[in-house]
Amino acid sequence: MIADRIFTNGTFVSLDDKDRVYGAAAVRDGKIVALGSDEAIERTAGINTKRFDLEGNTVLPGFIDSHQHMISTGFHLRNVDCRVSSIAELVAKIKRRAEAVDADDWVIGWGYDESRFAEGRHPTAADFKDVSRPVFVTHYSLHSAVANELALKKAGITPETTVAHGEVEKDGRGRLTGRLSEDALELIKKQMRFTVSEMKEAIAAANAFYVRHGVTSVHEAGIGFYTGNFDEMRAFQETSENGSRDVRVYGMILDDFYQEGDLLLGFRNERFKTGAVKMFADGTVSGKTAALSMPYADGGTGEFMHGVGEIERKIMRAHRAGVQVAVHAIGDAAVSQVLTAYEKAIRAFPRGDCRHRIEHASIITPALRDRMQKLGVIPVPQPGLVHFAGEVHMDHVPEPLSKGVFALHSFVEAGLLPAGSSDSPITPCDPLLGVYTAVTRRTALGNTILPEQKLSLREALCMYTRNAARASFDEDLKGTLEIGKLADFTVVSPGFMSFDEEQLKTAEVEMTIIGGIVVYRKGEE
């Protein structure tokens, strides 16, 4: 067979069951048709074959981010980045944006982290009293936010406003502070209108960002999540059909838009397929709304998003329809609630190899790990959160639960095949950062969190390749470098597999190749 493209002078790390390594690869129609030495691969070339010299670089299976929000990330790239060190700096950035937009435009910020602020507190509506545009700034967790007085008025939020889950915060005198959590955010989001064209622009922005970080596939963790509008499905379909998106997408449909037997869950083409329904069981550790079995350090045990009966009905319905279920569960009590629901669904309607997922699974115990193993449940953690918020988790979560914070080694040891992810835009969609953190357990402040949970470099890479492919039932197409699989490659520096911790910290992607096409080359941005 004559190849369309050949890639030579590299080190192809297959990550297959035998850990085979090759020097070159041949590609035809977007798939790998041969792997071997430079000489062997040269024999597959014809007159019109395109040749690529990899200059000794290391080639890995294309990175897969198993839990991120592509549309949300794209919008965030154009909104105000509030990852700053003080409220004063945050307000200044919001003011500058407000001065540059029309009178009716919203000023949207994202990513603030109160633990990094010099003032040592969350921002409030009062901080934005001099801003004459509606302001909405989300916390880095995306589970809380602050709005100014004008935004609150536009959303019709008053001191009497309540939500089923979450909070419209008031001060000791019953006045709105502007802080909102969980369902209360939707009151503001409903005032914003996003067109399909804007959604596609957001996807394009995220696509460009992702390929720079070697990402070839993603799992979209809740279509409809950011805009509250199922037109997100149309945006993904159209960008996959018109060729404007390189990155392949496995879509999870947000439970709010799921109907049993929904034909949209069977949608599939080369760049986009759907197959899971996404639900929420609890909140976040940073907001102390993740449901724990023990009180947080300063009281409270978090919040369940659904009563036991409700979440069991939701999971039963999807499982019975043959759908993969993916549930956001961070606290150990929420993980237990979800596992019980999975156990009941599987017992009522037996089905082999369900591959139901727990998104985050941030705080687990040995007993929960064993239950996950028996059910074949896939944990989908975010190693990058150890880097950016390891101290927050350890400070908030009481012992002995804190010993199970992002217990990556425990997952691997139990054979759970955890799928790596970023939860972008919560943390950057950068698998190399996730790999570095999984190997070192090092935080941005230089602390090492639970070193006994470190992974080897190979184990960390498998999270973002073969394990991630399996989490979307795609292990026959991607995740390892084998003949017949998609020619999706992430190219990194020579000698990468022997890098020490410091080298991993500064490692960069040299090239990203999807379907044999070079979609990113460092230095050509």
Per-residue pLDDT of 280-305, as tens digits, reads: 999 999 889 999 999 998 899 999 99
204-236 tens-digit pLDDT? 999 999 999 999 999 999 999 888 889 999 999
- In this prediction, residue 262 carries a pLDDT of 62
Q: What radius of gyration do the chain's Cα atoms show?
A: 23
pTM here is 0.92
3-state class (DSSP) for residue 386: helix
303-348 tens-digit pLDDT? 999 999 999 999 999 999 999 999 999 999 999 999 999 999 999 9
266 pLDDT exceeds 70?
Answer: no
Rounded CA separation 6/453 (Å): 39
Neighbours of 168 (CB within 10 A): 23
Least confident of 287-291, 365-369, 376-380, 459-463: 287-291
Q: Which of 43, 55, 61, 48 is nearest to 8 (CA)?
A: 55
Q: Which of 272, 279, 213 is nearest to 240 (CA)?
A: 272
Query: Identity (one letter) of the amino acid at 180?
Result: L
- In this prediction, residue 260 carries a pLDDT of 58
525 pLDDT exceeds 80?
Answer: no
- In this prediction, residue 265 carries a pLDDT of 63
Rounded CA separation 342/336 (Å): 10
Mean pLDDT of 33-49: 97
Degrees (nearest 5) of the Cα angle 15, 16, 19?
Answer: 65
Rounded CA separation 280/255 (Å): 9
3-state class (DSSP) for residue 327: strand
Least confident of 240-249, 459-468, 483-492: 240-249
371 pLDDT exceeds 90?
Answer: yes
Q: Is 17 exposed, middle or buried (0-12, 13-18, 19+ CB in 10 A)?
A: exposed
Crossing angle of helices 431-440 and 383-396, in 10° steps, is: 50
